[in-house]
Amino acid sequence: MIPQLDQWKKEGKKIVFTNGVFDILHVGHVSYLQKAKSLGDILIIGLNDDDSVRKLNKGPERPINNELARKTVLEALRAVDGVVIFKEETPLALILSIQPDVLVKGGDYDPHQTDPAHKQYMVGSKEVRSWGGSVEVIDFVAGFSTTAVVNKLKA
Examine residue 119 and state whether it is found in any structural domain, yes or no: yes
Cα separation, 31 vs 29, in Å, equals 6
Look at residue 58 in the predicted model and tell me its pLDDT. 75
Examine residue 40 and state whether it is found in any structural domain, yes or no: yes
Determine the 3-state secondary structure of 128 from DSSP.
Answer: helix
Domain that holds residue 141: 14-154
Which stretches in the chain have pLDDT values below 50? none
Beta bridge pairs of residue 151: none
Look at residue 147 in the predicted model and tell me its pLDDT. 67
Q: C-alpha 16: how far from its chain's center?
A: 10
pLDDT tens-digit profile of 137-152?
Answer: 998 876 666 666 666 7
Examine residue 33 and state whether it is found in any structural domain, yes or no: yes
Terminal-to-terminal C-alpha distance of the chain: 40
Nearest to 25 by CA among 128, 154, 144: 144
Q: Hey, which bits of the chain come out as E strands?
A: 15-20, 42-48, 82-86, 102-106, 134-138
Examine residue 2 and state whether it is found in any structural domain, yes or no: no
Which helix (H) or strand (E) covers residue 85, if one does? Answer: strand 82-86
CATH assignment of the domain containing 39 = 3.40.50.620
Examine residue 42 and state whether it is found in any structural domain, yes or no: yes
Task: Output Rg (C-alpha) for the chain, integer angstroms.
Answer: 15
Overall domain count for the chain = 1
pLDDT tens-digit profile of 57-66?
Answer: 777 788 999 9
Cα separation, 22 vs 123, in Å, equals 18
